[in-house]
Structure 1
């Protein structure tokens, strides 16, 4: 991926590489949703401005932790409290992966339905309403069971476990890609077709479409780990998903091999609103990730320059 902004490219010599940081490439992981690609590309291009060597590596969201633990991968810019906490904690416990702090973005990932479905399923947003009107969300392929459209399988999320634990008459169907997920939402919304699906924030969708998140029993770590906790005494995952920060994590050797780059990554901070606007540029306005990042950097030079430690 190449940075294309002429204005920002002129700054390439403004921050020469620091002697104590290795010239080896810092491997940043790329996943399969626009926001993460933007976050990672933005971080990578700032590191390049600081004189560091950067390599982008495609990796699965959860499976990437194997590479982070061995040092084959170096930095992951978006680990969501909502879906990544369990894998993140396991990686931290090995001592091979470290937390580089919050990105500044706050994560929500949950079942979401368009406003027009509220009349077809009275009692929403309370999750218990789904027990009585699963058929309102049925498709020809799942009838009489409702269909829940989940994110790509690689995102995790324990949706199948939740459906079983809460005894919901729903079939979980996973979208193949992030783009496919929101293409289905767009098509259903235009036709007022039944749909309930995985929506996340920061993203443009909750702002563009009128709808609401389902209110499940409150999340607790014990709900995920102890079957006796929660509304179903015989099953775990009988609650909502966690909410909270989106984190930056790295292989432990990064701080030693690239100390200034590590501090620069720690300083990275962006808001939900800023990210939502950039995702909209890519997903709705047809801009490339590189163009979108370049435009943000051109408009926010003072912000990203302040992240750089040299």
Structure 2
């Protein structure tokens, strides 16, 4: 899922206040969490600017993707704009189960996060995309640091995803090497793709990468909730996570006190929706075209004024 170098400046805990579209219930800052991938920075910046237009004070707070739930439970943080069904569902369900965090509905975007390889790798590993072909070709994916094991380039360790568990449960001759940042992940893909070097890595959508590069997701055994929860389910009767990753909505969550303290803001967060296509285009504009978060988010707001104004209408 993801930190653009162009987006880093937007994470510095700045406070915004805009002209009042409707009267804010409190001038205490609403704290929105910012993570380490461009799409999330964009959704959060757009939401923050809309709330500011409605007269609210908005504070952006850099937070770890999973660890943020502690702050949302306590009320030290207030809104998280992207919890992916693919990686964040367990943490989200646990937090909601406490009664201190609430699901604010889906963002309108549909998520996929999975192992992905460039199409040219099928020449040296013709059994792909079937996951069982990976062991036959593990040496083709090896690097000096992992040989004779193949290397899987995972996302930053904070993203979760259970890749180490998946490798162990499926008996794959691979080692996970985590990219330090979202930018580093895709820089390595770009380098490998230009050289037709071996690589299999974490790719997610909505994002520009699956469109820009020709390739395929690895076809693992289909995901079921039981595969993650019950070791007896699946190919390996002794271990969980012996299947692919889930797909599904990208959710919004909030501190349970949001609607009491800022009811208009809570309604706006619930109303927020955006399409995969819009998000993919915006991420591309930041990551590939070098535009700033502010430039890209302002352009979306200008082009979709009737949409976001409906979020904050009385």
Tell me if both proteins adopt one fold, taking TM over 0.5 as the criterion.
Answer: yes
Give the CA deviation at 1:255: 1.0
In structure 2, the partner of 1:57 is: 61
Query: 2:141–2:198: 8 Å Cα contact kept in structure 1?
Result: yes
Q: What is the aligned counterpart of 2:19 among 13, 16, 39?
A: 13
Question: Can you list the C-alpha shifts for 1:226-251, whole angstroms capped at 9, x where unaligned?
Answer: 11000000110000000000000001
Local SS of the residue matching 1:83: coil
In structure 2, the partner of 1:259 is: 263
Query: 1:261–1:309: 8 Å Cα contact kept in structure 2?
Result: no
**Is 2:113 aligned against 1:109?**
yes
Local SS of the residue matching 2:164: helix
Gaps of 5+ in 2: 1-8, 11-15
Question: Can you list the C-alpha shifts for 1:185-208, whole angstroms capped at 9, x where unaligned?
Answer: 000000000000000000000000
Query: 1:26–1:54: 8 Å Cα contact kept in structure 2?
Result: yes
Equivalent residue runs for 1:236-275 within 5 Å? 236-275=240-279
Q: What is the aligned counterpart of 2:167 among 163, 167, 178?
A: 163
Local SS of the residue matching 1:274: helix
Question: Can you list the C-alpha shifts for 1:230-275, whole angstroms capped at 9, x where unaligned?
Answer: 0000110000000000000001000110111100111101000000
Query: 1:104–1:271: 8 Å Cα contact kept in structure 2?
Result: yes
In structure 2, the partner of 1:70 is: 74
Within 2, Cα distance between the matches of 1:96 and 1:309? 27
Give the CA deviation at 1:135: 0.9
Give the CA deviation at 1:14: 5.7
Q: Residues 74 and 12 of structure 1: is their aligned pair in 2 closer, same or farther, counting only changes over 3 Å?
A: closer
Local SS of the residue matching 2:240: coil
Structure 1 length normalisation: TM-score?
0.95
In structure 2, the partner of 1:148 is: 152
**Is 2:312 aligned against 1:308?**
yes
Within 2, Cα distance between the matches of 1:96 and 1:173? 35
Within 1, Cα distance between the matches of 2:247 and 2:19? 40
Q: What is the RMSD of the two structures over their aligned residues, measured on CA atoms?
A: 1.4
Query: 2:19–2:52: 8 Å Cα contact kept in structure 1?
Result: no
Gaps of 5+ in 1: 3-8
In structure 2, the partner of 1:299 is: 303
Give the CA deviation at 1:309: 3.5
Query: 1:151–1:176: 8 Å Cα contact kept in structure 2?
Result: yes
Question: Can you list the C-alpha shifts for 1:135-192, whole angstroms capped at 9, x where unaligned?
Answer: 1111111111100000000000000000000000001000000000000000000000
**Is 2:260 aligned against 1:224?**
no
Query: 1:150–1:175: 8 Å Cα contact kept in structure 2?
Result: yes
Give the CA deviation at 1:16: 3.6
Query: 1:263–1:309: 8 Å Cα contact kept in structure 2?
Result: no
Question: Can you list the C-alpha shifts for 1:68-112, whole angstroms capped at 9, x where unaligned?
Answer: 111111000000000000000100111110000000000000000
In structure 2, the partner of 1:5 is: none
In structure 2, the partner of 1:97 is: 101
Q: Residues 14 and 250 of structure 1: is their aligned pair in 2 closer, same or farther, counting only changes over 3 Å?
A: closer
When the two structures are aligned, how many residues end up with a matched partner? 301
Runs of 4+ in 1 over 3 A off after TM superposition: 11-14
Within 2, Cα distance between the matches of 1:208 and 1:275? 15
Greater mean deviation of Cα atoms: 196-205 or 299-308: 299-308
